Structure 1
């Protein structure tokens, strides 16, 4: 093959490579846009639950208290019915507020990642009974999307550790590493097959790995049956 033909092939190969790289960047950009829309929808629904359904339930609870106060001692059966309705209304109101917070905690938008992670750790510890230790080193400024991504990975890992792995001790660490950040969640749960855990897409650990890849990040699991799990997420500060 002549030198001229070789040069043509090299040029064609370079063009194809550049096209593939452009297509990959566009794919990641579109993927991030889709995820941002999902998070915006979560924020909207959370606000509707808190400001709409939550406020209506609060008003209903107040009305039931007024009704209870208006009942006479002779209306014992009706009083019991109102008391049951009040209890149900209170439980539903608390469930609605908790669902709103888990969909999109306002603290993440209002106070940032560190405050949101401390709230998440506190909530998960109270819910599961596990001892969760959080360590956060000084971090560089992170944009809103990276903060949300780190929060979601932590949320998924803690849920997996406490609910599915029955962990009693969980350590969460977030620190800067080279040109990015490193998030690690280590638990003493029952462990699992890492490949099987990552095989599931959606909102599980497999889904978190796919989201990290959209930002040039990586998710790695180290685990064995009966020996807990280490979840490591590395995310660059700049992504294309």
Structure 2
């Protein structure tokens, strides 16, 4: 089943074109890594899909035009993890994670059995059960990131959009999160994650979409998208390429002479 379809999507910020005629579709079971250098338009693309940034083109979610969906309908179909990880309210961690169930509940209704199961499952997956009674504002940056990811997981939407979800996590939790996303895809969800770590993307994603200067450069399996020449052209780096346990390994190790200047704009 196609969970997301994007056709001829374009967007501008402050009058400057950021996305140019982006088209792709994502089916259930895919873990898509959205790649590109700073300023390529990754965040703008995710926000445009959600209707948070004005855009031109067509977006369909679960074969329904996104523009026709109410906020509640959209929230039941798409979960979103933004880059920002600030938590303003000093509520308990478990209460914060439970907010992910809001789209599935009637106004002022209490939590049901399915809600509790989703909340506990999300906390268990992110290994934050021991934090359930802690005030969210008292957590470390990495703990806050894991709590907010758990809230998105508790939403249990067919499609999950995550903007730099591994930022602020130590390597063990980065790998654990990528495993979780891959498992969600195996269970029939679809995940699109904006990533800067090419190694994580190459090893864990089933598909990569590489954009640069607002346009699609490549779309396909990791080895086809992240060729040595393309990594040089788009990122301006030399990288080691290998394989372990049947999966790709990619590790940038040096900057090329004449590396392209960092672009302006929203990454």
TM-score range, shorter chain: under 0.3
Q: Greater helix share, 1 or 2?
A: 1
Q: TM-score, normalised by structure 1?
A: 0.24
Q: Greater strand share, 1 or 2?
A: 2
Larger radius of gyration: 1
